[in-house]
Chains A and B, each alone.
Chain A
């Protein structure tokens, strides 16, 4: 017995060392430690061991079991480590990706969302109005009566019903003031339409962002601060912003806003980005007449309005030379904004 146990141990450890995979290792375990395993059978021979030897043989048995079990575990770990190593071998990390479908937002959405984000932070909320408008909301109420030289029907899409496609989002100013009451602080992104042939710089359907602030004591400093801040946020705090006097029938005084920007490969230059002005009292009077109240009494409230072309802002922001790229939806173009 005293010789048999060390022999079993030696043989078992030798077989463990030889085992090339987990299966042969398991064979060793079953063959040695299993029910009919050699060591198990040897242990069964304990009852025949003389009493005085029992302690020594028992110790041998325990030592053998411990050593073999440890050997198996160790080998198991070694085999696993080998397998793990093998599993990581031969992986060419430089092969290209298994791509997922790419997607992204349209640049017009991106610039619109950025502009809206800035203005909402400044406390404006969103408003909207119909794109199929009537002459009243698109022209008359905006102090542009039928015989006004600024009213250009030639550039307007009409319907047989006499309605028209709004030529600017300024009609939303009227829609808003008809139902809300001061203070009003709204922005309205939306489409506008012009009977223009589509070319590199014109679309017959384009996108504008309108703004209106009406309250007591709204002044030119408010208009200037608001729009300066907006364009500084949009184009950078260092951007020069200037206000050029202009004319719009529905604001007085009116201004156009230029920002000085460097478009790739060009010298910095003033680029027109928006129109704005103080709401003309005639607009308030028309609103009061329609509402049959005096909530927009021009003696009490003042306001400013502004409007800008989102397509144009997108073109400036990304150096897009042909506006048609914005409606052609070529994936090679859209990808660049993803």
Chain B
């Protein structure tokens, strides 16, 4: 909300308060000051100048060289591009040294080889409201050389954010009332003569819940015309555009006392006002020409013809408003309940200064006085005759009732930092009345004060947290499962960083196009993908079912920045429906890894190789020490080399390489390997209780063997045989060489030589050579039998 300091000063004396003091006052009262703008001409060096001569610029068609009289000795030469003035006009001239809004200072310059010693200004260039195109033409009687500043009022405009619980502050009078309470300074009362009221009325309220009070005054014979200067200035000061005197008065009263009003053209009404629910499917064209289809929960103001004239409290209709030809007006002032206004405003996406106030709650006791005030102004500024009495239908709702301030609870919450007397003094300043026994009467404009705690809030707000002591205490609580998970996550993160990976954070909303890179733990079925209903853009339409697409996008961005070694990971939530959308939304946590390009930065000695699958495996093994990491091929659409990742026998995630075509499309020059792991399972692996294995007491013995097998034989097949061979002395085995010869010279092209080292050991004795030989022979025999390998 915009508040003009000049306007506000009509209600209380703020002279002597600096802008900074006012800023602090508001800030600590809970009103956020979003901006402070000094209005008016700020520089003394902007003076009235008379144009004495204007000749075409020798080097520029659009410019003129003027000689102006600024009240100095001799004339001043200024180059100017405006066209709207004539010789003899008086205009503002910014002299060298003048600081203009927007932060630049005028100097002497040369424009296309012609000297220019200042600048002739438009109104908007010197901090005044936008005027006609071109220079601001000052009145003929303006005194040459006089600072323009002295001809216009200055003002300070506060841009304030009023919290939704304080609708009483949404007007200049309401704001002044608050300032007066905080500053303990008198508030000048509003002097509004009270008009006669009558219950004899043609107004029919058919929706008393949505509109418990509706008042109207008919004023005939008004002259609709421009508002007087003072009214225009008031409205312009807070950024409103003057329209005509009647509309301006309703706007003025709204911003003065906070009660929205509406003026209808009586010529467009048939009979009395009917406040009724909209009919199902009823059409309504609002003042802003938007068209709406209404429903019974919307409230319309209509007449006896049944036509909807206005959407009650939200916006007038296109055809019922006041125009230049209006002679008789009907002035509406009513109380609309917040819930209904909010529902309609939200549904129709129509929002106005009126709906903003009604949906927060206006003062029910202010409805009639605002009407009285507006009638007075209309008679003064537009003439005409008002009906003798204001028609009143319904009753002002009573929204406040006495509230008990519980002294013990106040003391507990405030930590004993304020006495009951001091607390009471604060409430009194805010307009509450002490009814005795801890009961307080709440003024009608403070509908937000309904409970003990609401009074405490007021006391705490005015007392200030600066005056409350600090206490450093807290209950002991057990750590949670989430704590354990967090610790495991941080350990993984630190390991990954130490292994040379950068952690990424990507947006959890991704595009459909990115779904091609999704590598969820289980393949997605139709309906598994979760979409937001109204995405902001196609780029953020889908809840990520996998982190991989985000990492691929991050890697791609880095490739564009010439990064070569791409080593990234990210942890976080992934989302999917389960079972083709049949089950409820599922959220789980994932760890994704992406490796591509050299495993280390290039240097002056040998360059590191581009990462391959075995680097990924090595990384996972280092990440989960002691867990046997295995890849088990399982095809995935859209990926190459896809495997389940296993830790021992447990499936913990998925590995794959992007399809080479996808890599090329994204301009990757090396293979891109991605992994998505189930973070929940990793946490369990890392937090399970481990028992220490005893160290071997007796030495073991190793034997090497190279086997000649078909190139098609997977290493996993060999390992499987070894794991199941049942030789108790075999405690470890490891592949240490794989040799192939595509030329077929040293080894048939369809064979490979796989060398293994086998380690034998007994827990209770040092093995004799023959024991080792015997065990080794059994192991080799098992391999021969199961896989038909030949040993070299």
Q: Give A residues with C-beta under 8 Å from B.
A: 95-106, 108-109, 113, 116, 120, 122-128, 130-132, 147-150, 153, 157-161, 163, 165, 183-186, 191, 193, 195-198, 203-205, 213, 215, 217, 219-222, 224-226, 228-229, 242-247, 252-256, 278, 280-281, 302, 326-332, 334-335, 338
- Name B487's closest neighbour in chain A (CB-CB): A126
Measured in the bound complex, the distance between the Cα atoms of B587 and A113 in whole Å is 22
Cβ-defined contact, A302 with B412, below 8 A: yes
Q: Which residues of B contact A153 (CB under 8 A)?
A: 346
In chain B, residues 79-129, which have Cβ atoms closer than 8 Å to a Cβ of chain A? none
Q: Are A220 and B460 in contact (CB under 8 A)?
A: yes
Neighbouring B residues of A148 by C-beta, 8 Å? 164
> Which of B29, B165, B530, B575 has most A Cβ within 10 Å?
B165
Q: In the complex, what residues of B have CB within 8 A of residue A221's CB?
A: 415, 417, 468-471
Q: What's the Cα separation between A195 and B533 when bound, in Å?
A: 11
Q: Is the CB of A99 within 8 A of B603?
A: yes
Once the chains are docked, how many angstroms separate the CA of A281 from the CA of B537?
A: 40
A sample of 16 cross-chain residue pairs with beta-carbon separation below 8 angstroms, ordered by A number, consists of A98-B605, A101-B565, A103-B499, A104-B502, A105-B497, A120-B483, A126-B486, A149-B338, A159-B530, A184-B477, A219-B471, A229-B472, A243-B465, A246-B163, A331-B558, A332-B561
The stretch of B301-309, B311-319, B449-457 that contacts the partner chain: B449-457
Are B470 and A185 in contact, with the CB atoms below 8 A? no
On whether the beta carbons of B509 and A204 are closer than 8 Å, the reply is yes
A247 to B414, CA, bound (A): 18
Q: Which residues of A contact B468 (CB under 8 A)?
A: 220-221, 224
**B39 proximal to A (CB < 8 A):** no
Contacts of A196 in B (CB 8 A): 536
Which residue, B28, B413, B573, has most C-beta atoms of chain A within 10 A?
B413
A95, A224, A229, A245 — most chain B CB neighbours (10 Å): A245
- Is B599 engaged at the interface, CB distance under 8 Å to the other chain? yes
Given known A-B contacts A103-B501, A204-B507, A302 and B30 have beta carbons under 8 A apart: no
A120 to B537, CA, bound (A): 39
Q: How far is the CA of A100 from the CA of B540 in the complex (A)?
A: 36
Q: Chain B residues near A165: list those with CB within 8 A.
A: 532
Q: A103-B502, A183-B475 are in contact. List 10 more A-B contacts (CB 8 A).
A: A101-B599, A103-B503, A105-B494, A124-B477, A126-B479, A131-B587, A159-B532, A229-B470, A252-B457, A327-B505
* Chain B 194-220 interface 0/1 with A at a Cβ cutoff of 8 Å (1 = within): 000000000000000000000000000
In the complex, whether B398 has a CB less than 8 A from a CB of chain A is no
What are the residues of chain B within 8 A of A95 when measuring CB–CB?
A: 604
Measured between alpha carbons, how far is A116 from B489 in the docked complex, in Å?
A: 13
Cα–Cα, bound, A160→B541 (Å): 13
Q: Given that A125-B483, A221-B470, A329-B504 are known contacts, is A149 also in contact with B475, CB under 8 Å in the complex?
A: no
Q: Indicate whether B295 reaches chain A with its CB closer than 8 angstroms.
A: no
B539 closest partner in A (C-beta): A198
* A96-B603, A205-B509, A220-B414 as given contacts; A225 in contact with B472, CB under 8 Å: yes
Residues 638 to 682 of chain B near chain A (Cβ within 8 Å): none
In whole Å, how far is A164's beta carbon from the nearest beta carbon of chain B? 9
Instruction: Tell whether A109 pairs with B493 under 8 Å between CB atoms, given A104-B502, A132-B575.
Output: yes
Q: Which 10 A-B pairs have the closest CB atoms?
A: A101-B500, A247-B163, A245-B30, A183-B475, A221-B415, A225-B470, A243-B465, A221-B471, A329-B554, A147-B339
- B563 on the A face (CB < 8 A): yes
The answer on a CB contact under 8 Å between A149 and B360 is yes
Expressed in whole angstroms, the Cα–Cα distance for A130 and B589 within the complex equals 11
**Bound-state Cα–Cα, A163 to B532, Å:** 10
CB pair A191–B600 under 8 Å, yes or no, is: no
Using CB atoms, name the residue of chain A closest to B535.
Answer: A157
CB-CB nearest in chain A for B595: A101
Known: A113-B490, A128-B482, A221-B471. A103 touches B565 (CB 8 A): no
Q: How far is the CB of B290 from chain A (nearest CB, A)?
A: 16
| B476 at interface, CB cutoff 8 A | yes
Q: Mark B493-524, 1 if CB is under 8 A from A, else 0.
A: 11011111111111111000000000000000
The one of A102, A198, A245, A332 in contact with B601, judged by C-beta atoms closer than 8 angstroms, is A102
Residues of A within 8 A of B471 (CB): 219, 221-222, 224-225
A260 vs B530: C-alpha distance in the bound complex, in angstroms?
42
Contact A253 B457 (CB under 8 A): yes
A338–B503 Cα gap in the complex (Å)? 10
For the complex, give the distance between the alpha carbons of A280 and B603 in Å: 61
Q: Name the residue on A nearest B452 (C-beta).
A: A281
Complex CA distance for A100 and B501, rounded to whole angstroms: 11
Q: Which residue of B lies closest to A215 (CB)?
A: B475
Interchain CB contact under 8 A, B478 and A125: yes
Known: A224-B465, A243-B465, A245-B461. A123 touches B476 (CB 8 A): yes
Q: How far is the CA of A224 from the CA of B474 in the complex (A)?
A: 13
Instruction: Decide if B494 touches A106 in the complex (CB within 8 Å).
Output: no
The residue that B413 contacts in the complex, of A163, A193, A244, A302, with Cβ under 8 A, is: A302
Pick from B342, B453, B531: contact of A280, CB under 8 Å: B453
Residues of A near B483 (CB, < 8 A) are 120, 125-126
Check B743 for interface membership: any CB of A closer than 8 A: no
**CB contact between A281 and one of B453, B475, B554 (< 8 Å): that residue:** B453
B649 vs chain A, min Cβ distance (A): 29
A329 pairs with B470, CB closer than 8 A: no
The answer to whether A103 and B567 touch across the interface, beta carbons within 8 angstroms, is yes
The reply to whether B28 and A328 form a contact with Cβ atoms under 8 Å apart is no
Asked if residues B603 and A245 are in contact (CB atoms below 8 Å), the reply is no
Contact A247 B30 (CB under 8 A): yes
Give every chain A residue within 8 A of B497 (Cβ-Cβ).
103-105, 338
The answer for the CA separation of A105 and B346 in the assembled complex, in Å, is 43
Q: From B342, which residue of chain A is reached at the shortest CB distance?
A: A147
Rounded to whole angstroms, the CA-CA distance of A26 and B568 in the bound complex is: 57
A244→B536 contact, CB < 8 A: no
A329 to chain B, nearest CB (A): 4
A220 and B587 form a contact (CB under 8 A):
no
B554 pairs with A191, CB closer than 8 A = no
B786 at the A/B interface (Cβ < 8 Å)? no
CB of A204 within 8 A of CB of B540, answer yes
Taking CB atoms, residues of chain B closer than 8 Å to A203 are: 507
Contact residues in A for B190 (Cβ distance below 8 Å): none
Given the interface pairs A132-B543, A147-B339, the reply to whether A220 lies near B477 with Cβ below 8 Å is no
Q: Which of B32, B417, B563 contacts A331 (CB 8 A)?
A: B563
B573→A122 contact, CB < 8 A: no
Docked pose: A217 CA to B413 CA in angstroms: 8
Min distance, Cβ A315 to any Cβ of chain B, angstroms: 13
Contact indicator A327/B506 (Cβ below 8 Å): yes
Residues of A within 8 A of B476 (CB): 123
B557 CB–A CB distance under 8 Å: yes
A217 touches B412 (CB 8 A): yes
Nearest Cβ on chain B to A129's Cβ, whole angstroms: 10
B573-587 with Cβ < 8 A to chain A:
573, 575, 585, 587
In Å, the complex CA distance between A254 and B461 comes to 9
Residues of B close to A159: CB separation below 8 A:
530-533
A329 to B159, CA, bound (A): 37
Q: Across the interface, do B338 and A197 meet the contact criterion of CB distance under 8 Å?
A: no
In the complex formed, the residue of A with least CB distance to B339 is A147
Contacts of A161 in B (CB 8 A): 585
Q: Beta-carbon contacts of B405-419 to A below 8 Å, as 1s and 0s?
A: 000000011110100
Cα A220 to Cα B480 with chains together (Å): 26
With both chains docked as a complex, state the minimum distance between the C-beta of A134 and any C-beta of chain B, in angstroms.
10
Q: Which of A125, A147, A327, A338 contacts B507 (CB 8 A)?
A: A327
CA distance A185 to B475 in the complex (A): 7
Complex Cα distance A104/B503, Å?
Answer: 6
Contact A109 B587 (CB under 8 A): no
Shortest Cβ distance from residue B541 to the other chain A in the assembled complex, whole angstroms: 10
Q: Is B166 an interface residue (CB 8 A)?
A: yes
A130 surroundings in chain B (CB, below 8 A): 585, 587
User: B496 contacts A185, CB within 8 Å?
Assistant: no
Interface string of B317-338 (1 = CB under 8 A from A): 0000000000000000000001
| Chain B hits for A242, CB < 8 A | 465-466
Flag if B508 contacts A191 (CB, 8 Å).
yes
Q: Most chain-A Cβ atoms within 10 A of its Cβ — which of B475, B508, B600?
A: B475
